[in-house]
């Protein structure tokens, strides 16, 4: 391998590696805590099931995301509390809520899930979950679903299956995130019922807005597909619905808007009061 090519690959993977490494200490801390205190109990006030809510909302549903910051944009909505976001999402007609819980890159934490349970909407925990103990942690929160990002496992099928099965055993819905056809194959190997296509590649943070159209060709009967990243208009959401996506997950274009409620209502098709 040439030195130039090696440098390009190292640079491309550096962001992905940073995500994974940031979780290693968190996992070690959880292992130590649970070894002394035992694992936490399952949450008694879990939010509604994600899939059921999306099927009820129908094609064109919007999953609004609580996203104070991001590695690609930096600070986005640090002024917005989870409680304020929850009120906004309910008023704006969201079918569910995606909740960033990572503090290192997204300026949030696990407490946001508890703050949003009062909305009555399904809560999807979005974080870099790479170990079953993080699933145990999730099951003690009001989240009814969690994100499992195939790319984080570096093709470690055994590790990915362990996390997926831990989620199923805990009564959580794993939402499997993919970036290419190899990821889609890995998701299907898991038996994933919910697949999320993210057009922002975790390796480079670059958008590929044609990805949604390419990967949906692999959708099979019984699967629920969600698209994410790069969407900011209702016409885009309806185009995704025509392609076969049941819902779209949208964060930045809502969080970054000077009128967040109007922005969300324009996405959901709700009244702009």
| Number of other CB atoms surrounding residue 132 within 10 Å | 18
Each residue of 149-173: pLDDT tens digit? 999 998 799 999 999 999 999 999 9
Q: Which helix (H) or strand (E) holds 46?
A: none
Show the tokens assigned to 6.
Answer: 């090696």
Kindly tell me if the per-residue pLDDT of 9 is higher than 50. Answer: no
> Cα angle at 46 between 45 and 48, to 5 degrees?
125
Q: What is the CATH number of the domain that holds 215?
A: 3.20.20.70
Kindly tell me if the per-residue pLDDT of 126 is higher than 90. Answer: yes
pLDDT at 203: 77
Q: Is residue 196 domain-resident?
A: yes
Q: Is residue 273 domain-resident?
A: no
Closest to 244 in 3D by CA, of 179, 197, 201 = 197
pLDDT at 155: 78
Cross-strand pairs, 65:
98
pLDDT at 271: 60
Kindly tell me if the per-residue pLDDT of 258 is higher than 80. Answer: yes
Contact 224, 248 (CB under 8 A): no
Mean pLDDT of all residues belonging to the chain: 91
Each residue of 136-147: pLDDT tens digit? 999 999 999 999
Total domains in the chain come to 1
Predicted TM-score of the model (pTM): 0.92
Q: Is residue 257 domain-resident?
A: yes
């Amino acid at each position: 391998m040439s030195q130039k090519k090696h440098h390009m690959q190292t640079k491309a993977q550096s962001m992905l590696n940073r995500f994974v490494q940031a979780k290693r200490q968190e996992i070690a801390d959880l292992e130590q805590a649970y070894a002394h205190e035992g694992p936490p109990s399952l949450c008694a006030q879990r939010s509604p099931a994600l899939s059921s809510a999306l099927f009820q909302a129908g094609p064109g549903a919007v999953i609004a995301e609580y996203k104070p910051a991001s590695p690609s944009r930096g600070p986005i909505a640090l002024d917005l509390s989870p409680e304020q976001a929850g009120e906004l999402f309910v008023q704006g007609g969201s079918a569910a809520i995606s909740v960033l819980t990572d503090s290192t890159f997204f300026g949030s934490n696990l407490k946001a899930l508890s703050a949003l349970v009062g909305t009555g909407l399904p809560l999807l925990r979005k974080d870099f979950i790479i170990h079953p103990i993080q699933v145990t942690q999730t099951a003690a929160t009001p989240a009814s679903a969690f994100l499992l990002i195939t790319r984080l496992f570096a093709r470690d099928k055994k590790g990915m299956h362990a996390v997926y099965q831990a989620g199923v055993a805990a009564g959580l819905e794993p939402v499997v995130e993919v970036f290419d056809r190899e990821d889609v194959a890995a998701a299907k190997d898991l038996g994933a019922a919910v697949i999320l296509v993210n057009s922002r590649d975790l390796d480079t943070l670059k958008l590929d807005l044609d990805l949604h159209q390419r990967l949906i060709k692999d959708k099979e009967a019984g699967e629920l597909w969600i698209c994410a990243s790069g969407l900011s208009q209702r016409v885009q959401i309806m185009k995704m619905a025509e392609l076969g996506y049941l819902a779209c997950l949208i964060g930045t274009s809502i969080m970054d808007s000077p009128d967040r409620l109007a922005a969300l209502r324009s996405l959901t098709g709700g009244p702009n009061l």
